[in-house]
Each structure stands twice: as structure tokens, then as C-alpha cells.
Amino acid sequence: MATTYKIDPAHSSAHFSIRHMMITNVRGTFSGITGTVIYDAANLGASSVEAEIDASTINTGDEKRDAHLKSPDFLDVEKYPKITFKSKSIAKAGDDVKVTGDLTIHGVTREVVITAEPLAPETKDPWGGIRTGTTATTKIKRSDFGLTWNSALETGGFVLGDELKLTLDIQLVKVE
């Protein structure tokens, strides 16, 4: 039997990492994730995920860089305020779950595969709600989503790598 959960935006986040100047990684987060997970442990094919992130919540710990990331050079949050994901299939992969779906960033939709850990055992929160959660990861190429701004380095290479590593920490609240 399927169980419906809502993503708890106060206790969920998306983290990303990208290579900077070919020597270090810059990390950042998005907050304000919302959405619905329908989970059927007996029939994963009947499960689904829909999620939305407010692109303007990007935070790398540097206001000037965050403003540049929100600009038309990158996310263009005025024109594309949301990052969305809608699953197309969910299947077991060893101990984990592979969630295949459409990710839309910067107005461009591409199919991605997200690897999710098994849902944590349900637990009752202090307010009587039932909660669970998971951590999920994927890698994408920012160029696949039209995020192509870059600058060449004098010593060769570019300021920003193309690969983004994404980690999602998602807490879910059971819908009664």
C-alpha cells in the first residue's frame, strides 16, 4: 500500500559542489524544498517523487557570488524562479533506490538518475506527526542545463568545472 509524504522544507536541503579554478571545490545549498513523495515499498513502480526548489535560496556563504549565481549569467532566478524534479520511474538498486526523472533548471529539462538511500524507519515527532527521510545524490553537467558561463584561466583550464555534485537531505512528513 502506498504512503503519501510531504517534504518538510524546514528540515530539508539541497547541497552542491563544483570545482573552482581546477584546485578546490565551492559548496553551496538551496533551502525551501517542497514536494510530495508517494512510496509503495511492495511496488516501487507505483512510487513517485515531485519536488520544487526556490532557486533564489542559493547560498554559498558569499553575498557577491550568490548575487552573480542568481543573475542571468547563471540561474536567472527572475526568469526561472524554480528548480523542479518529477520522477518517471523508481527501482531498487542493491540496498539503494534509483529514481529516474526529469530535472528542470534554468528552463531546461533533462533526465537524471538520483540514487537514494532507503527511507529511514518512521518515527513519531513531538507533535504527533510521522516522519522519515533519506539522503540522495546525483551528478549533472551544468552545461546540459544551459549554465555555460565560464572564464578561461591564464594557466589553462577554466574558472568553473562543468560537473555539479548534488546531495539532497530530505525529511518527509506522512500525510494522514
DSSP-assigned letters across all residues of 2-59: -EEEEE-GGG-EEEEEEEETTTEEEEEEE---EEEEEE-TT-GGG-EEEEEEEGGG-B
pLDDT at residue 1, rounded to an integer: 83
pTM of the model: 0.86
For 142, phi and psi rounded to 5 degrees?
-65, -30
CATH number at residue 109: 2.40.128.110
Our count of domains for the chain comes to 1
> Strands 123-124 and 108-116, how do they pair?
unpaired
Express each pLDDT in 39-67 by its tens digit: 998 898 899 999 999 999 988 887 887 88
Express each pLDDT in 107-130 by its tens digit: 889 999 999 998 999 999 988 899
Q: Which domain holds residue 136?
A: 3-174
Is the pLDDT at 150 greater than 50? The verdict is: no
Q: Which residues on neighbouring strands pair with residue 6, listed in sequence order?
A: 36, 173
